[in-house]
Structure formats: C-alpha cells, structure tokens
C-alpha cells in the first residue's frame, strides 16, 4: 500500500493528532502531517472562509493536498457565538481556560434547558491545481455549569454532547470523541472527496 501525505493546515499538535486518528480509521493510506509554514491571516467571517484561507495557504506552501479545519462552539442563546471567535473569546492569547470561563460566566444565569450549543467543524480540502471542497459537521449538545474531565482541549471540558450520556467531551476517551465529534462528522462527509487522492 502506497502512503500519500496530506497536510493539515494548523500548528495545533492536538488537532494534528486528532485528525490523524480520524483519517487512519477510514483512509490508512493517507498520512496526516502538520503544517510548518507561515500562518495566514484568518480574516473570514465564517468557518468556511477561514478554513479555505488556511487550506489554500498550506497547499501553496507545501505543494501537497491540504485540509484545514475551522471550528468552534456555537451557543444558541448567544445567537451562535462565540462561533468563529471561539479561540479568541477572552482575548488574543488563545487561552482555552479563560475562553470557557468567560463563556460560563456569561451564561451563569441561564437555566439548563436554554444552554443548548453545538460544536461546529468546517473542513476545506484544497488540492493544488484541482478543485476546492468544503464540508461541515455539527456535534449537538449543551454547556455544563463547570468544567469536568482531563482529555481533549479547547471547550471540551464544558461541552456536554447529546450522545455522551452526561459526560463532557473532555471525559470521553480519544476513541469515543473521534467516533462522534464535529470533526469526525465533517470528515465523514469529506471521505468521498478524498477518493481521488
């Protein structure tokens, strides 16, 4: 079996590891590698726009097919925010703990039935000299009132997926998360598009 490389346009090692596991489950012939080039300015106002900006930059820099994920948490009572601003919700330091603590503080008086939220992942695929594709996956759930769990990253400790029986995303094993997360759902839609690689 010939292994082909596909670059994931991120400097986030957690995302590279997570995507690598998701990809390996369905396409063991594809090796996900991290991106070591310059970080583009993500000035899009949607997940799709930012994912395409990153994937185009990685494909141009490496000459390899490139995937880029732009993802975040969308809280219904906040009109879908933080959304594309999830990584910077508490400022430009990209401090995950500060981000979810601010979000919990903003929702402190919101009753459980109104704490619905979803993780959203939009993946762009750019193949040099070929077409561009964008797919989206949504993982529905709600926000907890306090963080729990040691696994995962980002907002995982405060997100209670509908399919996790009361556990936070950070209490799931990596295999459990990779089987049903927003990224797994987006990647499932991407698999047919990877057939030509």
Query: Over the stretch 118-154, which tens digit does the pLDDT of each residue have?
Result: 999 999 999 998 889 999 999 999 999 999 999 988 9
Find, among 171, 125, 126, 167, the residue nearest to 150 by Cα: 171
Strand partners, 123: 69, 135
Residue 1 has pLDDT above 70, yes or no: no
User: What integer pLDDT is reported at residue 3 of this predicted model?
Assistant: 78
Label residue 181 exposed, middle or buried (CB < 10 Å: 0-12, 13-18, 19+).
buried
Match domain 4-194 to its CATH number in 1.10.1740.10, 3.30.420.40, 3.90.950.10, 3.60.9.10: 3.90.950.10
For residue 3, give Cα distances in angstroms to 30, 51, 68, 134. 6, 25, 20, 24
Question: Per-residue DSSP letters for 72-116?
Answer: EEEEGGGTT-BGGGGGGTT-TT--HHHHHHHHHHHTTT--GGG-E
User: What integer pLDDT is reported at residue 54 of this predicted model?
Assistant: 96
Find, among 86, 67, 70, the residue nearest to 78 by Cα: 86
Which range, of 18-22, 77-81, 166-170, averages the lowest pLDDT? 18-22
CA 90 to CA 40: how far, in whole Å? Answer: 21
Query: Over the stretch 63-109, which tens digit does the pLDDT of each residue have?
Result: 999 999 999 999 999 999 999 999 999 998 888 999 999 999 999 99
CA 180 to CA 164: how far, in whole Å? Answer: 9
* Contact partners, residue 91, CB within 8 Å, separation at least 6: 98
State the average pLDDT for the chain.
92
Annotated catalytic sites, by residue?
A: 70
Residue 5: band (very low, low, confident or very high) from pLDDT cuts 50, 70, 90: very high
133 — phi, psi (to 5°)?
Answer: -135, 150
User: What integer pLDDT is reported at residue 153 of this predicted model?
Assistant: 87
């Amino acid at each position: 079996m010939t292994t082909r490389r596909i670059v994931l346009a991120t400097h986030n090692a957690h995302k590279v590891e997570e995507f690598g596991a998701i990809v390996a489950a369905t396409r063991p012939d594809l090796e996900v590698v991290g991106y070591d080039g310059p970080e583009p300015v993500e000035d899009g106002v949607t997940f799709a726009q930012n994912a395409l900006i990153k994937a185009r930059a990685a494909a141009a820099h490496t000459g390899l097919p490139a995937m880029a994920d732009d993802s975040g948490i969308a809280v219904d009572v906040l009109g879908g925010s933080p959304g594309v601003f999830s990584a910077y919700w508490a400022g430009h330091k990209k401090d995950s703990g500060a981000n979810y603590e601010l979000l919990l503080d903003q929702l402190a008086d919101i009753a459980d039935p109104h704490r619905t939220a979803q993780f959203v992942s939009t993946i762009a695929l750019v193949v040099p000299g070929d077409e561009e594709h964008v797919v989206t996956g949504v993982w529905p759930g709600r926000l907890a009132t306090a963080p729990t769990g040691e696994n995962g990253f980002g907002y995982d400790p405060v997100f209670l997926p509908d399919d996790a029986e009361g556990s936070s995303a950070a209490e799931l094993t990596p295999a459990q998360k990779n089987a049903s997360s927003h990224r797994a759902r987006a990647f499932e839609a991407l698999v047919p598009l990877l057939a030509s690689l």
